[in-house]
Amino acid sequence: MSQPNAEHTGTPSFDPAAPAPATDTVELSDTWKKRFAQMERAGGLKMTKFKELSFFERMNCTFNGWAAIFGIFYYISKGMWKRGLVYWVMTFVGLLLLALIATLAGLDDMLSGVHFGGAWAGVYGAMANRDYYKKVVLNDNGWF
């Protein structure tokens, strides 16, 4: 059994110049390197220093427009199909329950013109950067 490293803080630091782990063959673009560096400045996944970033840096860390547009297909292209599938199922079930509750409450007429595509876009857009950070930097790619 290995001894814990006394200097380990719980969040590995991301150095764009450092070589990728041997198990990870992902080549990062400059955009992802900048995004991961911003996430590190914000405190890693817990983002304890989030308020120190500018508004645009915060948006860059917390929202991904391409993932919002393409949803599960974006996750598949990044090799995170398991998480993408789980998000799809969770969102589908959540929207189904929302529609059921609205129907039982007599509010189904109010929901007749509402399209629920924004829910999928919100889930995928908000989670994509964190999930890709977990996959590349923390080498955590799954829920199965």
Position 21 scores a pLDDT of: 44
Q: 125 pLDDT band (50/70/90 cuts)?
A: very high
> What's the pLDDT tens digit per position in 3-25?
444 443 445 555 555 544 433 45
Taking 80 as the threshold, does the pLDDT of residue 130 lie above it?
yes
Q: When comparing pLDDT for 127 and 2, which is higher? A: 127
pLDDT at 5: 42
For the chain, domain boundaries: 28-62, 65-139
Task: Give the whole-angstrom CA distance, residue 43 versus residue 58.
Answer: 12
Predicted TM-score of the model (pTM): 0.74
The tens digit of pLDDT for each residue in 39-92 reads 999 999 999 999 999 999 999 999 999 999 999 999 999 999 999 999 999 988
